[in-house]
A and B are shown apart, each in its own frame.
Chain A
Amino acid sequence: MISAQAFGDPGKMKDYHYTGPVEHRFSPYAYNGGTVLAVAGDDFAIVASDTRLSEGYSIHSRDSPKCYKLTDTTVLGCSGFHGDCLTLTKIIDARLKMYKHSNNKTMTSGAIAAMLSTILYSRRFFPYYVYNIIGGLDEEGKGAVYSFDPVGSYQRDTYKAGGSASAMLQPLLDNQIGFKNMEGVQHVPLTQEKAVQLVKDVFISAAERDVYTGDALRVCIITKEGLKEQTVPLRKD
């Protein structure tokens, strides 16, 4: 945008003069896109993410899933700045090992969530530019979802979408899983098959309208039997 100061009286151009040293800002962050989603059921949890890694108008990779396995019962989905995602998952892996060695047991989902909150807040004044969602089973075997903001505020949810298409997915989940804005419908508990189908459909819709979401969808299903993974192709444009 040409500033108002460059134009004096109409018909006359102002004299050009050198303004002195110009400051160029370096930004330590980049935005790599991606969408993450987690749903908790009665005895299962699902964490899903698309696999596209982008920057600006370009694609870095079509096969970069954003779900990271932490334990047999917990999966972390993180999107935002990929550099911080990688460092954060490295730090969490190290902390999990330390806990296991000193306490002789694996960390529970709730404990991992509380720990992640403190890790994120320790960088309150130079944050990790990451939107985290943890999905897993709690100590009773019920599904649990914990959603975070970049500086560590978190809460337990039934379902949550994060990342570039989160604003498109969250209202749809509110309607289909939370039964919001609907009258006279039976609040049937969500089955695993319906939840997986819903997650796939919701990502197909997100890929239509969000340029950062696409290529493929990685779905991680967590049950007491263990972890199962599915990959579904999405739009590549």
Chain B
Amino acid sequence: MATLTMSRPPFGGFSFENCKRNATLEGETSKLGFSLPAARKTGTTICGVVFKDGVVLGADTRATEGMVVADKNCSKIHYISPNIYCCGAGTAADTEMTTQIISSNLELHSLSTGRLPRVATANRMLKQMLFRYQGYIGAALVLGGVDCNGPHLYSIYPHGSTDKLPYVTMGSGSLAAMAVFEDRYKPNMEEEEAKRLVRDAIAAGIFNDLGSGSNIDLCVITKGNVDYIRPHDEANKKGVRLNELEALQLTGDYKYKRGTTAVLTKAISPLDLEVVEESVQTMDTS
């Protein structure tokens, strides 16, 4: 079978050929008056904190497309390995695919070493991938877990830099959440105190940042146990009247009567089915 070979010998370093193509495409479509579809960003608040026995990760659940809410209850805490979880902010597809790729590679690595994966390994794999793409993968991550060396928490930026810290926040609501952390963080907290702190930090993001909203998801990782609490707190319910004195009829009735939607044509074609086999399976109703 003939193979196509490049006439140029391979250069070292990065190849930016697609950047030229993307810039040309963007120029061409804007001349026609269209814009390339924008990737959906999550406009998020995510955070993590190290406490006495492990780490607590928290996230809100709103996904936005521009300034319209696309998903009111999306899941932003992703599974990496049984002892490591990762919150993702930025472009939704990027955080989803990046964490899945690293989770898959980490599982293979863990089978090869025969050991439970370490958080530092996941961190190294994520940062090397994000740096390779020079920031074009818009994933800002909060990585946390417990391994043989204890609890660890990292924040990972889209260009590939990482910070290893006792408490981190990312996303559009990160300033609101960090304000809560800087006020109330203490080293070696108890689990309940750490959960309250993370819940309050995410709540600050939810109520003060327009890009974050809906519910609060929590993930508590300790040695040998993971509590994935979704939702931990339903901070906002639709149309709940806070005044109990008002009538119980919360909202009007908008059901349509049958026939409200016009039926233009109706065509019924019966399907000829023949019974091939009839079997009875008893249910265990004891």
Bound-state CA distance A197–B239 (Å) is 12
Bound-state CA distance A232–B20 (Å) is 53
Partner pick for B260 among A182, A194, A201, A208, CB 8 A cutoff: A182
Residues of chain B within 8 A (CB-CB) of A3 are: 23
Partner pick for A237 among B22, B23, B26, B213, CB 8 A cutoff: B213
Bound-state CA distance A201–B22 (Å) is 44
Question: Could you tell me if B238 and A10 are in contact, using CB atoms closer than 8 angstroms?
Answer: no
**Interface window among B10-18, B86-94, B123-131, B142-150:** B10-18
Question: Could you tell me if A183 and B260 are in contact, using CB atoms closer than 8 angstroms?
Answer: yes
B95 touches A (CB below 8 Å): no
Chain B, residues 191-210, CB within 8 Å of chain A (1/0): the string is 00000000000000011111
**Interface window among A52-60, A73-81, A137-145:** A52-60
Which chain A residue shows the least CB distance to B215? A237
Number of interface residues of A (CB under 8 A): 35
Chain B binding surface, main DSSP class: loop
Given A3-B23, A57-B172, A201-B239, A184 and B259 contact (CB-CB distance below 8 Å):
yes
B212 touches A (CB below 8 Å): yes
Given A10-B11, A176-B254, A210-B69, A204 and B238 contact (CB-CB distance below 8 Å):
yes
Question: Could you tell me if B20 and A7 are in contact, using CB atoms closer than 8 angstroms?
Answer: yes
Partner pick for A212 among B208, B210, B235, B236, CB 8 A cutoff: B210
Question: Could you tell me if B12 and A4 are in contact, using CB atoms closer than 8 angstroms?
Answer: no
1-50 of chain B: CB within 8 A of chain A: 11-13, 15-17, 19-20, 22-24, 26-27, 43
Number of interface residues of B (CB under 8 A): 45
Question: Could you tell me if B43 and A11 are in contact, using CB atoms closer than 8 angstroms?
Answer: no
Partner pick for B11 among A11, A201, A209, A232, CB 8 A cutoff: A11
Which chain B residue shows the least CB distance to A182? B260
Given A1-B23, A1-B26, A204-B251, A236 and B67 contact (CB-CB distance below 8 Å):
no
Which chain B residue shows the least CB distance to A179? B260
Bound-state CA distance A185–B255 (Å) is 12
A164 touches B (CB below 8 Å): yes
Residues of chain B within 8 A (CB-CB) of A210 are: 67-69
Residues of chain B within 8 A (CB-CB) of A54 are: 210
Bound-state CA distance A201–B262 (Å) is 26
Chain A, residues 205-237, CB within 8 Å of chain B (1/0): the string is 000111110000000000000000000110111
A120 smallest CB distance to B (angstroms): 25
Bound-state CA distance A10–B11 (Å) is 8
Question: Could you tell me if A183 and B16 are in contact, using CB atoms closer than 8 angstroms?
Answer: no
Partner pick for B210 among A1, A201, A211, CB 8 A cutoff: A211
Question: Could you tell me if A197 and B16 are in contact, using CB atoms closer than 8 angstroms?
Answer: no
A198 touches B (CB below 8 Å): yes
Given A58-B208, A208-B69, A7 and B19 contact (CB-CB distance below 8 Å):
yes
A164 smallest CB distance to B (angstroms): 7
Residues of chain B within 8 A (CB-CB) of A208 are: 69, 72, 238
Chain B, residues 218-243, CB within 8 Å of chain A (1/0): the string is 00000000000000000110110110
Which chain A residue shows the least CB distance to B208? A59
Kindly list the 5 A-B residue pairs having the minimum CB-CB distance in the complex, ordered from nearest: A11-B11, A237-B213, A4-B23, A204-B239, A211-B210
| A contact residues vs B (CB 8 Å cutoff) | 1-4, 7, 10-11, 54, 56-59, 164, 176, 181-185, 194, 197-198, 200-201, 204, 208-212, 232-233, 235-237
Q: What are 20 A-B contacts with C-beta separation under 8 Å?
A: A3-B23, A4-B23, A4-B27, A11-B11, A11-B13, A56-B210, A57-B211, A58-B209, A59-B208, A176-B254, A183-B259, A183-B261, A184-B257, A184-B260, A198-B252, A209-B69, A211-B67, A211-B68, A211-B69, A236-B207
Instruction: Please give 12 more A-B residue pairs, beta carbons under 8 A apart, in addition to A212-B67, A237-B212.
Output: A2-B19, A57-B43, A57-B210, A181-B261, A183-B261, A204-B239, A208-B238, A209-B68, A210-B68, A211-B69, A211-B211, A235-B213
